[in-house]
Amino acid sequence: MYQKRTSIVNHLSVNVILILSTLEIGDSAHIYGVTRALAVQREREFFFGNEGDFSGYGIFNRPILLEPVTEAITYEAEAISPFIKVNNITINAISTSSVAHIGNTKSVNMEARIKHIRQLEPRER
Amino acid sequence: MIFQVYNRDLCVGNMKIGSISSSSILLVGDTETIQLASIFDTPPESLIIGPFVPLSRQG
C-alpha cells in the first residue's frame, strides 16, 4: 500500500503567486495543469491588446507522446520514519499554472506548451 | 519488478527557490504518479527582424 508520510515545514515564505498558480498546504488527490503561452519578446515596448491566436501555431495542438509504462511494478514502502522535514523554504515566485505542494498527493499530470517569438528592430547595415 | 522502499529520516535544511513556473511542481510529500510534459519551439522564422507586425488577431 502507498504509505503517507507527514510533511513538516518550519518556515515557508512565498513572495508572489500569479497566473493560475497554487500554494497547497495539505493533501490532494489529483493535480492537473496546462500552460499554453506565446512568449513574445519585442525590442521596443509595443502592445496591441488583442493579438495572438493559438490556433495559428502547430505547437499548441501537436500531441506530446509519452512512453507507456509496460513494466509490471509492485511497490512496497515501509515508513520507518513517518515524517518529511524541511526547515526553511523560500520561494520567490510561483507562476503560470504551477503548484507548490506541502503534503501528499496521488497523481500529478501537467503540461506546458510555449511558443517563443522574437521581434527585433530593423538593423542599419 | 518489485520496488521496495524503506523510508528513514528525510530532513532538508534550507530550500531557496527562484521561481516555479510553466506547469511545474514543488512537492514536499509522497505521491504515486507524476507526469510532466513540456514542448516549446523557437524556429528560425520566429526571429523577425523588421518593422513590428502585430501577431494574428484573436481567432
- Contacts of residue A44, Cβ cutoff 8 Å, sequence gap at least 6: A121, B52
Count CA atoms closer than 13 A to A81's CA, side-chain side: 10
The mean of the pLDDT values for chain A is 90
Q: Which of A59, A80, A95 sits opposite B8 (nearest CB)?
A: A80
Give the model confidence (pLDDT) of A52-95 as tens digits.
888 888 889 888 888 887 889 888 888 899 999 999 999 999 99
User: Please, are residues A2 and A75 in contact by the beta-carbon 8 Å criterion?
Assistant: yes
Q: Which of B37, B46, B49 sits opposite A123 (nearest CB)?
A: B49
User: Where is pLDDT greater, at B57 or A45?
Assistant: A45
Burial class (CB in 10 A: 0-12, 13-18, 19+), A62: exposed
Cell numbers describing residue B34: 507524476
Paired strand residues for A6? A83
Tell me: pLDDT of A6 over 90: yes
**CB atoms near residue A11 (< 10 Å):** 10
Cα–Cα distance between A40 and A38 in angstroms, integer?
6
Cα B54 to chain centroid, rounded: 28
Tell me: pLDDT of A1 over 70: no
Tell me: pLDDT of A105 over 60: yes
Q: Which of B1, B23, B37 sits opposite A97 (nearest CB)?
A: B23
Minimal Cα distance from B27: which residue of A?
A101
Look at residue A121 in the predicted model and tell me its pLDDT.
Answer: 84
* Chain A residues with beta carbon closer than 8 angstroms to that of B15: 86, 88-90
